[in-house]
Amino acid sequence: MRILVGTLYCGENELPECVASIERQTYRNFSHEVFSYLPDKAAHEALYGRFMSHADRFDLLVKVDADMVLVRDDFFQRVVDTFTAHPELKLLGTAVHDFFSDQLVQGLNAYRRGIEWAADGLFTDAVSFGDSEVLFDTDDLAPAAYHCPNPSDLQSFHYGVHRALKVVQPRCQVKRRIDAIGHWATLERIWANFLRRKDLRIGLAALGAELTFLGRFRVDDLNYSGPVLDRALRRYASFSVEKLISEVKRLRMLNFGWLPGRSRRDALRYLRGGDLLDRAALRELASGISWRTVAGTASIPWHVVARRIAPRRTSK
């Protein structure tokens, strides 16, 4: 099988290691192309367009982003073996080890020729497939790569913003609740990992997520070529780990931090994404909830939560 290896690059620190790990592959029947400094949706359209327009040349597309470093030198060979053993397979997704959350997350996809993409501006890897046509691997080929093993501050901040937007899904015609639940769990793991490891880069990912939950960023702001994220990050350039922990804690309280995790997630999705909770459901969710403030413990009644939500909900 002939493979097109596609890499999307927007200044990620890991590009040299990414390219080196691709060049070390024992399976040699592939062509590697790098798509540089394109907006996210345009970059994916260019990559998928190249694959589809050269269907006579390539059997598989393996998408290895610039922030991924392949773990095994025989990874391409094992991907080919998997597709050969399963002729009905159209998508093979393999988990990668994520630096920020210190866990396996889905992230490295391989596609067979003929697959159809159903991507939008936020979920750019979305495809249409049947149940028998997809395989998500978390133990055989995984981890396929190390994800963001050496991120820059902007990469870290961008990661948190991107994941948070995938939780709230603003202005998305189709709401992907299962995806939202998964990304929320990853963000909560990132926060816990930051508190444990005290790594500033992990903290910047947590910071980006909470600022997004406050409504500071939109999908268009994800483009690395734009100034929005870089400008926002400069405010925190001098923050120590301790100061960043305090700031993220403050932002979490502003983002319904007194609620249990699942309720906080659903309230933010209602507020920022416009789905899931009607007023009756939100009232039930808010009634009886207590939170601890610096002064002590106080109950937050429904009408306070309603005032907190209504102005922001109608501003979109």
* pLDDT tens sequence across 191-224: 999 999 999 999 999 999 999 999 999 999 998 8
Strands 297-299 and 290-292: antiparallel
Amino acid at 243: K
Per-residue confidence (pLDDT) for residue 61, from 0 to 100: 97
Give the position of tokens 């202005």. Answer: 171
Query: How far, in Å, CA of 243 to CA of 241, rounded?
Result: 6
Query: What is the DSSP secondary structure assignment for residue 178, as one 8-state letter?
Result: H
| Confidence grade of residue 119 (pLDDT, cut at 50, 70, 90) | low
Q: Where are the beta strands (DSSP E) in 116-195?
A: 116-117, 127-128, 134-137, 145-147
| CATH 3.90.550.10 domain residues, the chain | 3-147
The correct CATH number of 3-147 out of 2.60.40.10, 3.40.50.880, 3.40.50.12710, 3.90.550.10 is: 3.90.550.10
Place of tokens 């020729």: 113
pTM of the model: 0.87
Q: Give the separation between CA 147 and CA 113, rounded to whole angstroms.
A: 26
282 pLDDT above the threshold of 80: no
